[in-house]
Chains A and B, each alone.
Chain A
Amino acid sequence: MLAVDDLHFAYRRGRQELFGGLTHEFTPGAVTGVTGPSGRGKSTLLYVLGLMLRPSAGQVRYDGQPVHGLSDVDRSHLRAVQVGFVFQDAVLDASRSVLDAVVEPALYAGARRRDVVGRARELLEELGIEIRAEHRPGEISGGQAQRVALCRALVNDPRVVLADEPTGNLDRDNADVVLRVLRRAAQAGRTVVIATHDPYVLEHVDEVLAL
């Protein structure tokens, strides 16, 4: 359901072009690893797929429909409903609780907080951190924070999960937990794309897209 056609991107007009006309269909139910040397646009591709950047040329398709021309409101709604993001360092709000962090994307998707708190607690329990639900990010470990980020990415039951170096700051045990969760997400029929340069992560993906 997620594909790119003849994709080009440049941060500024006249600057270095990325992707060189990339055309690719991401397989639902599989974990795709995007890899390549630094500066080739691994993270940028994730942000283009996640509708946070518009391609200079070519298009991104969701269910066969080009989406790069949608308005900001429509792109934001699509992102909230269909895409889950996992960043390298979790990016949690230090002033809010773990539970608030997990609930947040559902609010942007139009849900009421009280309707989604149950689902958020279930996810936290699945990842073994329900006991930390009322804690602040400063009170949990890096591995726990990344698990919170995974719960946040999955709370809206998205069809696409985009992870930018999700294990970059983790030790091997915590990296295994993250990879297991992403694998389970793919097995549930989601399209999972991981940007990484870590060979250990690439050993755990189903497909590799080298830039």
Chain B
Amino acid sequence: MRLSTLVEEAARTATAQRVSSAMVAVLCAAICTVTLLTVGRTAAAEETVLARLDTAGSRLLVVSDDRDAGLVTPAVLQVLSGLDTVERVVGVDTPFDVVNGVVGDGAERVPAWRVAGDPAQVVSLVEGRWPAPGEALVSDAARRRLGMAEPFGFATDTAGVEYPVVGAFTARAPFEAFEAGLVVVADPATATDSVHLVVTGVEAARITEALTLALLAPPDLSQVSVQSPAALADLQRAVSGDLGEYGRGILLLTLGGGAFLIAVVVLAEVLLRRRDLGRRRALGASRWALVGLMVNRTVIAAMPGAAVGTVVGLVAVMRAGDPVPVGFAVAVALLTVLVAAVAAVLPAVLAATRDPVSVLRTP
């Protein structure tokens, strides 16, 4: 029997035997909908949680030179910026107070951070130009507090050092704290108090932390303090593991239960249509042709059911506010059709191996 003929004959049989085809279709639709409403929502929740854990704020690693031992040198920053696990890196000094230089002492104070490295790693320029070493950018909030009409002028620290303000910035995540004041570009030859690294993912935090400490090489580990997202990486793994395990359990239960019910429907059809199958054998269908016919007709009945069930499930989860990735929904539909095919194999083999003569003989 030709493969194309077998598929065509399976389609005609599926169309002719509407009741069992409809039952297979309904079961497949139910499998897809239930899977999307349970596993799909779990997967969406897992994705949301992991996305939150993966924001820049959750990926910030800070190593501070607590005793001002000059550990965070420009050379160290240079090496760190070349690591694959590092997205951005800057050296940052402890903030100090500045006032509007025009107003002088008595004016409102705002904090200023001396930043070593490329300032574009921490702020975006919105007006003016990028500052040279010793020059500063001011945030909009700080400009208002300083009483500056434009983001140009100069600020003065408590020691009387002047910092020309050459433009305005908005802070990039996770450096939103800089919105409170000024960012001063540090002298490229000087060390800073701490190094701020945005790692590529929380899972890269532990290795980056180890590399950073190795580069800083403090004589005594008590000289440095570390704020690391490594604990978040452990949390991420735990959340991912728990949700994944729960989802897999539900998926297996749904698919297993669905497969059992589909197998029961196909088996019932085999038992009810023994004479039909015996006739096919008598007319020249091989056992494998019979198995192929039964499996293909089950798949043909399963496909529209899976499609409808997937659409219904997608709409339901979207209305519930948990959008499931379309790729996941398509995978569920394909998996359901595959499960239907596998579930049909055993009853089909049973049908193919039954003695056709006993059902064809008329007493």
Contact = CB atoms under 8 A, between A and B. Distances in A.
A89 interface: yes
B282 A110 contact: no
A11 B281 CA distance: 18
Interface in B253-298: 275-276, 278-289
B356 interface: yes
A167 B248 CA distance: 61
B190 interface: no
A95 interface: yes
A37 to B, nearest CB: 15
Given A52-B357, A76-B289, A95-B16, A87 B362 contact: yes
A204 interface: no
Interface string B1-36: 110110011001100110000000000000000000
A85 B282 contact: yes
Contact of B283 (A44, A53, A108): A108
Given A87-B362, A107-B5, A77 B286 contact: yes
Contacts of B280: 104, 108
A59 interface: no
B12 A100 contact: yes
Interface residues of A, number: 36
B360 interface: yes
Contacts of A96: 12-13, 16
B284 A76 contact: yes
B186 to A, nearest CB: 81
Nearest to B1: A108
Given A107-B1, A107-B9, A113-B8, A52 B362 contact: no
Contacts of B284: 76-77, 79-81, 83, 105, 108-109
A152 B283 contact: yes
A128 interface: no
A113 B362 contact: no
Interface of B: 1-2, 4-5, 8-9, 12-13, 16-17, 275-276, 278-289, 356-357, 360-362
The 3 closest A-B CB pairs, nearest first, are: A80-B284, A108-B284, A76-B286
